[in-house]
Amino acid sequence: MDLQLTPEQQAFRADVRAFIEERLPQDIRERLRAGHPPRKEETVRWQRILNERGWAAPHWPRCFGGAELGQIERLILMDELYRAPAPLPQVFNITMLGPVLMKFGTPEQCEHFLPRLANLDLWFCQGFSEPGSGSDLASLRTAARREGDHYIVNGQKIWTTTAHWADWTFALVRTDPEARKQAGISFLLIDLKSPGITIRPITSIDGEHHLNEVFFDDVRVPVGNLVGQENKGWDCAKFLLSNERTGIANVGLCRERLDHARAVAARMPQAGGFLIDDPKLLAEMAALDAEIRALEVTNWRFLLTPSAQQEMPAFASVLKLKGVELQQEINALLARVAGPTGLEKRDSDELEHGPLVPRYFYSRAASIYGGTSEVQKDILSKFILG
Amino acid sequence: MQFELNDEQSALRDSLARLLAQRYSFEKRRALADSAERHDPAAWGQLAELGLMGLPVSEAYGGFGAKAEDILPVMQELGAALSLEPYLPMVLGATALERAGDEAQCNEYLPPVIAGESRLAWAHDEANGRHAPWWVQTTAHREGDGWVLNGVKALVLGAPLADRFVVSARLSGEPDQREGCALFLVDAAAPGVQLRSFALVDDSAAGELTFSGAQAVALGDSTDSKRVLAAIDHTRAVGIAAICADMTGAMQAAYRLAVEYLNTRQQFGRYIGQNQALRHRAAEMLVSLELARSMAIAAAVAADDPASDGAGLDLHRAKLSVGRHARQLAQHAIQLHGGIGMTEECAVGHYLRRIHVLDQLLGDGDAHAARLASLLAASPSA
């Protein structure tokens, strides 16, 4: 047993760290460190820099512009990006859609879209959730009716993160209303500039606009934008939802935010001293550090050990549950560290105090999106108890 | 990185599991807990035959030179079986003796330990130190050719079953000073050694040792403070790793009992394992178990290779994290059993008893959190 990186892996870490050090624009680093989520422009700017090394799409094959990184190298890259902190490769393009196109798409779709996804020439968003279909995704009702060379799409998506920034969406639509639930669903790529699409903002509890409703009213989508076979879109969706395991634990994010909490506490005055001198806070941060380490080692153990995966096929749910719990605890801690100085509403460019309290509010979403914590526990208990 | 047991480790684990299944049923274990000896001498002999006593001892003295990672699966099985055998004190005593003693002493005292004929115990903690890793008020001074000890050692695991104690005592300085101590070997039958023996709340045998001018042999060069410090630190590291492993074995067993119960107990005309509230509790237990298993590995690696990345922090992290998850899991397991889980004749409650004892040994969660906090304050991103 050992927990060491090989010399090659250590060299890779040093290479990534040096690259980020040299190339990450300081303004992006500062905004992210303060706690702001990256703006569209910041993610695009940085992803194009990463793309020079193939690190915009780290696990994709080289022929599609990726770097063919293995599990551990991907983890190292993500850890270093979080540590910087720098924006991660845009998740809808890179982790979600790209691999689906490679597995189910036509050669023409791959050739057209993959380089644009990697370079963020196109920004995709995910059109899965609907008002009536949250955890029960397969109950979705947005319909696509075949009419010659087009599908005519009608319906509504909701909770669509970054739809207001996006050029396209990949959407699950019902193409066979007669078939049972999962059977009649197709996976469509839809240009959001198409006539008949309306995007409405949803302001979340942090006072920000991340989420949207997307309405489809007789939207014409060329048949060539179907991915995989008609009525087999559920296969694409299942593949998409199950193949992202490497980043699910978000260990690097937890560690960076905990370090930030320590830094904020060190300059936060409290009754003549500084908050960092409070032994209760220190013990709490130590306990969080121990849990982050436990998650990190568990993440490595599952991702790198085939026998551990066989023993526990539902391991991704363990990682998501614990990762989310830690993210939420650390964000709550940051909000408490910010204390009364965190109460003032500040604009989204403010760097000195940062949006620590709004980020805490928004962190509550982590146990809702990507499979709620209750759904994760259902998955685990099915594994445990049948 | 590598997380799996090697073939030898798996083979030893399997042999031990078979032995314990045959010899250490829960009913048998309950009878042992009520017996005068509080352990099974026959089982102890079989553990020695399996080679367990030689595990922590170097090949040079007839042992196997095993590392903490080799002891990990052994401790997991012993924890799962709720073993009352004084294996942990033996590991601690043998580790300290070999690290501190000179070659002649190791040749004299270790082979009988490996054969299962001599039993060691580790006498370091004192009541006034509570969870301090280092608090030695017991004193040693020269008398003629030898040494005599005066002082009290609290909570010596396996003391009533041991014939020799490895004892830390002070030659000079204040109780919390790391310098000025040495390690001694004391014969249990020596004049001036008084043992008050008792059972711990998990039914294992322990005792309080009072030394009043007790004759002692200094292990190694008693003036070599550095060597003594290293021996004690290493013994504690091996002990923390072993305790974390034991706790994860106990967790695994308590988890299995709870899952089995959920799938057999019926209420309101259906298995209680069909209720989502209970199912989710089982899922939370599994998360705790997996995290603890990971940290038990991290603790073993840290004990074996103190120079590896994060090793200095990982022992504290592991003791803290495994202890919390183990307690949480054991409490859940009792809850899922309902009333029967509260009874002494049901095994599940014994896991909480064992875990509570282990959590309190070699520094509890709070003590390790405090130590970890000060290390992190010195270098946050270590």
For the segment A239-297, what is each residue's pLDDT rounded down to a tens digit?
998 877 778 999 999 999 999 999 999 999 999 999 999 999 999 999 999 999 999 99
- Judgement on whether residues B76 and B179 belong to the same structural domain of the protein: no
Q: State yes or no: pLDDT of B210 exceeds 70.
A: yes
Which residue range forms the structural domain that includes residue B351?
228-378
Selecting from B282, B293, B316 the residue whose C-beta is nearest the C-beta of A381 gives: B282
Question: CB A384 to CB B380 under 8 A?
Answer: no
Q: State yes or no: pLDDT of B244 exceeds 60.
A: yes
The number of beta carbons lying within 10 Å of the beta carbon of residue B342 is: 12
Q: What is the mean pLDDT of residues B308-313?
A: 87
Selecting from B279, B290, B325 the residue whose C-beta is nearest the C-beta of A381 gives: B279
Question: CB B308 to CB A2 under 8 A?
Answer: yes
Q: Decide if A7-89 and A124-233 have a common fold.
A: no
Question: CB A3 to CB B308 under 8 A?
Answer: yes
Question: CB A300 to CB B1 under 8 A?
Answer: yes
Asked if residue A85 has a cis previous peptide bond (ω within 30° of 0), the answer is: yes
d(CA A128, CA A113): 20
Q: Does residue B51 lie in a domain region?
A: yes
8 Å CB contact between B291 and B321: yes
Selecting from A282, A322, A374 the residue whose C-beta is nearest the C-beta of B287 gives: A322
Pairing relationship of beta strands A209-222 and A197-203 according to DSSP bridges: antiparallel
Q: Does residue B212 lie in a domain region?
A: yes
- Could you tell me if A278 lies within 8 Å of chain B, comparing CB atoms? no
Alpha carbon of B139: minimum distance to chain A alpha carbons (Å): 33
Question: CB A385 to CB B290 under 8 A?
Answer: no
Q: What is the mean pLDDT of residues A94-103?
A: 97
| pLDDT given at position B382 | 43
- Judgement on whether residues B211 and B138 belong to the same structural domain of the protein: yes
- Judgement on whether residues B208 and B142 belong to the same structural domain of the protein: yes
Question: CB B310 to CB A312 under 8 A?
Answer: no
Classify the C-alpha dihedral A129-A130-A136-A141 as positive or negative: negative
- Judgement on whether residues B217 and B250 belong to the same structural domain of the protein: no
Alpha carbon of B283: minimum distance to chain A alpha carbons (Å): 5
Q: Does residue B1 lie in a domain region?
A: no
Nearest CA in chain B to A379: B283
Q: Which of A208, A213, A230, A244 is catalytic?
A: A244
- Could you tell me if A385 lies within 8 Å of chain B, comparing CB atoms? yes
Of the pLDDT bands very low, low, confident and very high (cuts 50, 70, 90), residue A319 is very high
Token pair recorded at residue A268: 């936060």
- Judgement on whether residues B209 and B235 belong to the same structural domain of the protein: no
Question: CB B380 to CB A283 under 8 A?
Answer: no
Q: What is the mean pLDDT of residues A139-147?
A: 96
Q: Does residue B370 lie in a domain region?
A: yes
- Could you tell me if A304 lies within 8 Å of chain B, comparing CB atoms? yes
User: For residue B325, which residues of chain A lie inside 8 Å, CB to CB?
Assistant: 294
| Boundary residue ending a domain (B225, B253, B285) | B225
Question: CB B3 to CB A301 under 8 A?
Answer: yes
Q: State yes or no: pLDDT of B308 exceeds 90.
A: no
- Judgement on whether residues B256 and B348 belong to the same structural domain of the protein: yes
Alpha carbon of B253: minimum distance to chain A alpha carbons (Å): 14
User: For residue B291, which residues of chain A lie inside 8 Å, CB to CB?
Assistant: 291, 294-295, 298, 322
- Judgement on whether residues B58 and B150 belong to the same structural domain of the protein: no
Q: Does residue B275 lie in a domain region?
A: yes
Answer with the residue of higher pLDDT: A353 or B58. Answer: B58
- Could you tell me if A3 lies within 8 Å of chain B, comparing CB atoms? yes
Nearest CA in chain A to B319: A290
Q: State yes or no: pLDDT of B98 exceeds 50.
A: yes
Q: What is the mean pLDDT of residues B147-153?
A: 98
**Stretch (H or E) spanning B229:** helix B225-262
ipTM attached to this prediction: 0.93
User: For residue B316, which residues of chain A lie inside 8 Å, CB to CB?
Assistant: 286, 290
| pLDDT given at position A246 | 76
One of 3.40.50.1220, 1.10.540.10, 3.30.565.10, 3.40.190.170 is the CATH number of A7-89, namely 1.10.540.10
**A interface test, pick of B262, B291, B375 with most A CB neighbours within 10 Å:** B291
d(CA A96, CA A161): 14
8 Å CB contact between B245 and B75: yes
Nearest CA in chain A to B307: A4
User: For residue A306, which residues of chain B lie inside 8 Å, CB to CB?
Assistant: none
- Judgement on whether residues B367 and B234 belong to the same structural domain of the protein: yes
**Contacts for B219 with CB less than 8 Å, ≥ 6 apart:** B96, B97, B100, B101, B102, B105, B166, B182, B183, B184, B185, B231
- Judgement on whether residues B237 and B374 belong to the same structural domain of the protein: yes
Nearest CA in chain B to A279: B370
Q: Could you report the per-residue pLDDT of A159-207, keeping only the tens digit for each?
A: 999 999 999 999 999 999 999 889 999 999 999 999 999 999 999 999 9
Of the pLDDT bands very low, low, confident and very high (cuts 50, 70, 90), residue B381 is low
Q: Does residue B286 lie in a domain region?
A: yes
Q: State yes or no: pLDDT of B282 exceeds 90.
A: yes
User: For residue A386, which residues of chain B lie inside 8 Å, CB to CB?
Assistant: 263
User: Hey, what CATH class is A245-385 in?
Assistant: mainly alpha
d(CA A133, CA B218): 74
Token pair recorded at residue B182: 């040495």
- Judgement on whether residues B293 and B348 belong to the same structural domain of the protein: yes
User: Please, what is the average pLDDT of chain B?
Assistant: 96
d(CA B61, CA B342): 46
Selecting from B1, B263, B370 the residue whose C-beta is nearest the C-beta of A4 gives: B1
Instruction: Give the count of domains, chain B.
Output: 3
**B interface test, pick of A2, A3, A378 with most B CB neighbours within 10 Å:** A3
Q: Does residue B2 lie in a domain region?
A: no
- Which CATH number is B73's domain given? 1.10.540.10
Q: What is the mean pLDDT of residues A86-101?
A: 97
Domain ranges of chain A: 7-89, 124-233, 245-385
Alpha carbon of B274: minimum distance to chain A alpha carbons (Å): 8
- Could you tell me if A277 lies within 8 Å of chain B, comparing CB atoms? no
Compute chain B's Rg from CA coordinates: 21
Q: State yes or no: pLDDT of A7 exceeds 70.
A: yes
Q: Does residue B72 lie in a domain region?
A: yes
Pairing relationship of beta strands A124-127 and A168-174 according to DSSP bridges: parallel
- Judgement on whether residues B244 and B357 belong to the same structural domain of the protein: yes
Q: Could you report the per-residue pLDDT of B41-82, keeping only the tens digit for each?
A: 999 999 999 999 999 999 999 999 999 999 999 999 999 999
pTM of this structure:
0.95
Of the pLDDT bands very low, low, confident and very high (cuts 50, 70, 90), residue B379 is confident
CA distances (Å), origin B53, targets A178, B47, B157, B321: 69, 7, 16, 28
3-state secondary structure at position B211: strand
Question: CB B372 to CB A321 under 8 A?
Answer: no
| pLDDT given at position B344 | 95
User: Hey, what CATH class is A124-233 in?
Assistant: mainly beta
Q: What is the mean pLDDT of residues B300-315?
A: 92
Q: Could you report the per-residue pLDDT of B319-355, keeping only the tens digit for each?
A: 999 999 999 999 999 999 999 999 999 999 999 999 9
**Stretch (H or E) spanning A186:** strand A185-191
- Judgement on whether residues B247 and B314 belong to the same structural domain of the protein: yes
| Boundary residue ending a domain (B208, B225, B242) | B225
User: Please, what is the average pLDDT of chain A?
Assistant: 96
Alpha carbon of A309: minimum distance to chain B alpha carbons (Å): 12
A21 is catalytic: no
Of the pLDDT bands very low, low, confident and very high (cuts 50, 70, 90), residue B380 is low
